[in-house]
Structure formats: C-alpha cells, structure tokens
Amino acid sequence: MRTGVANLPLHPGKAPRWLFQRMEQLAREMAIILVTEFGTTEFLRRIADPYWFQATGCVMGFDWHSSGVTTTVNAAFAEGIKGLENELGLYIAGGKGKRSRQTPAMIESFAGEAGLGTSLAADLVYASRMSAKVDSAALQDGYQIYQHTFYFDRSGNWAVVQQGMNERTRYARRYHWLSTEVSDFVDEPQAAICSQVTTTPLNLVAHESAETRCMTVDIACAQPVESLLHDLDRVQSLDMPARHEITPVDFNRQRLMRIISTIREHRPETFERLLGLPGVGPRTIKALALVSELVYGTKLSWRDPARYSFAHGGKDGIPFPVDRPTYDQTIETMRWLVGRMKLDRSEAQRKLKQLELLFD
C-alpha cells in the first residue's frame, strides 16, 4: 500500500447534488467504520494510498479517472464527518482554491478544540506548508498546486492529498503524503509515486540531488551578490540541454535579488529551511539549482518520481448510470453496521461480508 501520485484528465462538470448528498452519507459511514475498527492511523494510511483513494471515488459513484474525483472525495469525507471530528479523533482541513489557503487556520482551530497544544499544532501547520512547498517548488513537474487537503489525528499523524493542474496538457496530478513515510521533507519524501504520465521535471527532492541542495544554500547565503549575478549571466550564455524544460527568461533578476537579500537575513542552514522561507518559490529554486548544476557541476535530478472498480456506477453513466436504490441500500447497510458494531461485532462483520459479496 503505497503513498504516491495519480495523473488524471481534466473534465468539465460536477457531481449532481443528489449524488453528492449520498457521497457525504457513504463517506461518513465509511469513516466511522474504518476508525472504529482499525483506528485513525489506518484511515490516514488508506487516504494516502492513491489506488485506495481512486477506488473510493469509484465506489462513491464518481468518474473513474476524472480530476474531479480528488475534490469530490476530499469534500465528501470533510462534510461527512463534520460534527464528529472530536468523537472520531480525526480532522480534515483545507480543500480547493481559497479553502486550501485556509488550511493553517483550520488546523489551528481544530487543534485548539481538541486540546492538542500549540507545539503539536505548529508541527502540523509546518507539515502542511512543507508538503505543498515541496510539490510546487522543489519538484517542478509542470503542475500548479490548486488543491490541498490535510488529514490528521490527535496523535499528530497526518496525510496530505493535494492536486496540481497543467493547463497545457489538460491533465491534473494528485500527490499523496503520509507522515509515517516521511523521514526527510526534502529527500525522497514520498514512499513511491504512481502515474501513467511522466515528465522531465526539476527534481530537487531526489536523493541524487543532495549535493545540489547543499550548494543552493551556500550560493544563496554565502556567495557575493555580484558573483551570483555573474554566474547567472554565465547560465544565460550556455546552450541548455534538450532535457531542460526551463530557460533563463523565466528569471526576473531584480526580484531574485530581493529574495536573495531576504534569504541572507534569515541565514537558513539547510535546503529544507531555505525552501520553507516566505517568498522562496519555484523560480528562485530554479535559478539557484541551475547555477549549482551548470556552473559548479553538482548533480541534479531530472527524474520523474511518478509511476483503479465501480460499485454504484458513475455520475456520467460510465460504465453504467448510478443505481440510486442500490446506493441508498449501501448507505443504510453501513449505518446498520455502525449501529451494531458496539453491540454485536460478529454479526456486523457477517453483514459486511454479505455486502462485499453483493459487489464482487
């Protein structure tokens, strides 16, 4: 069961209200059963698995391969457990667009309600910000992050499901993170990445980019500004290899120098701290990485780290229209299971087995 990435085509349209209402109800019962039976850590592990997440979207009746499944499944779980967060010990912050930018405030609010303490809340906010920063600036694969959902529990375990868009290819890429798989935010932070479409990205979180990560910090913090400008000019005069999908015209020298000045005020000691500084985005990282590789000869990775089951039908009728009576029967069965769980576990498990056979 791996955490990783899914590549999905952009599709117009959205889930009809009658369908999303059922998705919320089903997500609610699924979350209750998973947390009750296996605990929050298992729920987070499954959310972080791109295959399980995609299959869940299919079970809920959404498109089998549409980019919209990310938004819809995340929203269904968030709305489904609303009001049950403290009871389950499971919290879901963030979302799409403007809501994604509210993630830190939502984490702090949930942490305050749960009495998690300011230190743990700060760690969770940091994990949210760094996972977004890594997938947007340290791994530059052509997808602009526009959706970020952060799942966490009382123990500080967390999972991230976020999605970026590539307007040129009309594809979206979904990134999955799991706290127990992350030993270092900037060195192979994902356990694995699964995808059918690969690119040639600037990959500074690849293990083979370690030397370049160190050099970018040295360049940003120690090299005289005049020398850095000279090196940038040297980069601009080089013939870029065909595999490089970025060019020096991407750089605004004046803005870059302002950011370098800010970096030197903070004096970050590691690449992770450099990456976490406000204002340090994809273009700053590109410039420093190119100077490191092309001027100082450090190794830089251009390796793409990237590498589904219907129960009720799909919203657009593929592979068949959503069967509302069956969907409602499933929800009721799940509710029955939740109600019986504390009373008679063996009977609940027998009923769940019958449900599995129904969709086998």
Q: DSSP readout, 103-161?
A: HHHHHHHHHHHHT--HHHHHHHHHHHHHHHHIIIIIEESS-EEEEEEEEEETTS-EEEE
Note whether residue 236 is domain-resident: yes
Q: If you search the block for the tokens 């609610």, which residue do you land on? A: 28
- Domain end: 275, 296, 317, which one? 296
Crossing angle of helices 68-80 and 17-38, in 10° steps, is: 60
- pLDDT score of 62: 60
**Cα separation of 317 and 347, whole Å?**
35
- pLDDT score of 9: 57
**Cα separation of 314 and 238, whole Å?**
51
DSSP structure class, residue 195? -
159 and 12 in a common domain: yes
- pLDDT tens string 346-360: 666 666 666 555 555
124 and 16 in a common domain: yes
- pLDDT score of 117: 92
Cβ atoms of 111 and 121 within 8 Å: the answer is: yes
Note whether residue 154 is domain-resident: yes
**Cα separation of 314 and 225, whole Å?**
57
223 and 90 in a common domain: no
Note whether residue 305 is domain-resident: no
- Domain end: 198, 230, 263, which one? 198
Note whether residue 319 is domain-resident: no
Domain, as residue range, for 216: 207-296
225 and 94 in a common domain: no
- pLDDT score of 237: 46
128 and 33 in a common domain: yes
- Domain end: 270, 296, 322, which one? 296
Question: Kind of pairing, strands 139-140 and 202-203?
Answer: antiparallel
93 and 156 in a common domain: yes
242 and 183 in a common domain: no
Note whether residue 125 is domain-resident: yes
Query: Taking CA 275 as the corner, what is the angle to CA 186 and CA 291, rounded to the nearest 5 degrees?
Result: 95
Mean pLDDT of 22-31: 90
**Cα separation of 54 and 196, whole Å?**
14
Q: pLDDT band at residue 18, thresholds of 50, 70 and 90?
A: confident
279 and 146 in a common domain: no
161 and 81 in a common domain: yes
Report whether pLDDT(90) > 80. Answer: yes
Percent pLDDT > 70 in the chain is 74
- Stronger pLDDT, 127 or 238, i.e. the higher one: 127
Report whether pLDDT(163) > 50. Answer: yes
Q: Which of 101, 105, 99, 156 lies closest to 132, judged by CA? A: 101
Report the chain's mean pLDDT, rounded to a whole number. 80
170 and 70 in a common domain: yes
Note whether residue 333 is domain-resident: no
- pLDDT score of 164: 87
Please state, in angstroms and as integers, the Cα–Cα distance from residue 257 to each residue in 10, 16, 232, 284, following that order.
Answer: 37, 49, 11, 9
Note whether residue 70 is domain-resident: yes
259 and 143 in a common domain: no
Note whether residue 105 is domain-resident: yes
How many domains does the chain fold into?
2
190 and 226 in a common domain: no
- Stronger pLDDT, 126 or 225, i.e. the higher one: 126
Distance, first Cα to last Cα, the chain: 21
